[in-house]
Structure 1
Amino acid sequence: MYWCAATSHGNAEEVLAKWLSIGNHLANIHSGHSETFPSCMHGEIQDRIWIPAGTRAHKEIESILKSRYLLKDVAKLSPHGQTSYLEGFHSVICHFAPKFYHYHYNGMKARLLMSALHFNENGTRLKAHTKTGEEKWSVSYPKSRNWEATAKPLKTNPTYEYIGELLQEVSDIRTEFPSCALADNSLNEHQPPCMTETHGKKREKQIVVRNHKTRFH
C-alpha cells in the first residue's frame, strides 16, 4: 500500500491502478492490468504457490481489494510520507509529560522542548546488531493480533548528548545572572492567559449551583 502511494507522485488514478493490480499479481498475472498501470514493475521472480484466479480464495481477496470504502481511502494516500514519526513523537511527549499530571505553562513548555530534543536525537536510530553482525530481534504477543507471536527489530540504545548541552547552557546563564528571577526576566517571554480567563466572565458560585441540573431532575 505504501509503495502504491509513494511511486505514484500524487496521481490518484495511478495509485488505484497499482493497488488493484495486486489481485492479478497473486494469480501470477503480471501484465494487462490497466491502461494506467499495464504491467508489474518487478523483475523475474521465483516460482511459488499462486492463488488461481476464479477460486474462492482469490474472490475473497479481491472483495477486500475492491471494497469501495477502501478504494476511496487508497486514492487519498499521501505520496510523501506517513504519520509513524509523528505518532512516535507523541509517545515521547507522553513520556516527558504524562497526561495524568497537571503542569503549568512554563513546566509544560519545558517538557515539550525536552521531548523535541530527545526525539530529534533518537528518532532515526539504526538497527542493533550482535557481535557477529546479526540483527537483533524481540518477540512480542500483542493482543490486537490475538496473541500471535510478532517479531520486532531492536534498535541501538538511545543517546542523551543534548543533556550535556543543556547543562552547559545552565552554567552559562548562572554565570551571567545572579538569580533565577533575573534570568527568567531576561527571556522577555509573554505567558498566555489561562484558558478560563479568555472564555466568558467568572460567575458567582451560588448562581452556578442554583442553575445546576442533574439527569435525575
Structure 2
Amino acid sequence: MQCGRCEYRNKWSSQPMVRNTPAGNLQLCAAVLFAGSSFRKIYQFLNAFSVQSLSEQCYHKHQAKLLFPTIHCHWKTEQEALIKESIAGGPVTLGGDMRADSPGHSAKYGSYSMMDVKRNKILDFQLVQSNEVGNSVRMEKEGFRRCLSFLEQRGLDVQAVVTDRHTGVQKFLRDERPHITHYFDPWHMGKGIGKKRELLSKQRGLQDVGLWTKSVVNHFYWSATTATSGEEAVAKWSAVANHIQNVHTHDNALFPHCLHEPLVGERARHWLKPSTAACERLTTILLAPRFMKDIASLYCCWSAYPKYKRGEYTVRPIKTKPTLAYVDKLMTLLFDCVVEDPLLYQTTFESIPVPESLCAQFHRPEKQEAASRHRSRFF
C-alpha cells in the first residue's frame, strides 16, 4: 500500500508478528493444545463459520518447535517446587500406578505416575514403551523403578510406597529396597475380588453368589479401615466366610463375633447353605492364601466411608473445580521466554531420550532378511 501524495509504503497485515511468526496463529495453536482440545475439531468449527485458519501442518510445526518445549519447561519448574516441598516435610509415603494405552497384554505404551500421598501431588511420571523392556507386562515395574530412582536421587527420604499387587514391583522392592515398607491399595484389591465374584455368579447354578456383591466389597473396605493392625484386618476379613453362612461367631480372639445386630425380617440375608457349590466356590475366592497374606499389607489413607442409602457404604471422591490457571502461566512463558530464545528451550526438550520406534524392527537388515526367509517358505 502506497500513499498517493508521498512515497510512504506500508504492508498491511491481519495480525502482529512475533519473531517473524504471526502472533495470532501461535496464540491459536497454544490455546488449542494448552486447553486440551483437538486441532481438527477447532479447524472444522472455524470452517463452519467461514473463518480462514492455519493449516494442520503449521499447527504441528508450532507444536513441536515451541509449544512442547514450553510445556516441558513449565512442568520441570513446577516439579522442582513440589519435590522441594516434599523434602522439607521429612520422610514421605509415595503412591504409584500405571495407565496403559490399552488393557491386557497388548499395551504398547504406559505412563507411570507417582504422587506424595500426604500432599496429594504428583511428583513424577515416566513414559515406558513396551519394546524397551521386552513386553507390556514389564512396563509397570520399569515405570515404578524409574520414578522411585529419580525421586531418591533428588533427595527424597522414601519410607513407604503404596501400589497395586503387581508381582514385579513386589519383587523389586523386596530385593533392591528392603528398607521401604510396601503397602497395597485397598481399591485395587476390592476391585479385583469384585470381578472374580461377578464372574463366578454368572456360572450355572451359582447365581446366589451375586446376592453378596455389594456386601462383600463393603465388608472388605470396613475391615481395612477399622483395623488397627494387619492381623486385625485379616481377622475381620476372614469372618466373612462364616457370615455368608449365617454364622456370626468366629474362632479368632481379634474378632470373636460380628458387630451387627441380629438380622431378622427384611434385613435377613439370602444365606448360602454350607457345602453347596456356591458357598464353597465363593469361600475359596474370599480366603485365597495370597489374598489373605496381602490383606495384612493394606494401606488406608481414609478413616471412614460415608453412608449412601439403605445402610450401605460407598467410596466418594472429593472433587474440586479446576482453576485452569496453568493455561495463563503457559501463555506467559511462551511469549515472554520461549519465543524470545526458542533454541535454548528446544535443545533442552530435544535432549529427552526417546526409545526406538515400535516399527523400527521391521526396517533393520537382519529383520528384513529373517522376514524374507519366512516368506520364502510359503511362496
Interval of TM-score (by shorter of Structure 1 and Structure 2): 0.3 to 0.5
TM-score by length of 1: 0.42
As a proportion of its length, which structure holds more strand? 2
Q: Which structure is higher in helix share? A: 2
TM-score (norm 2): 0.27
Bigger relative contact order, structure 1 or 2, given CA contacts below 8 A and separation 6+?
2
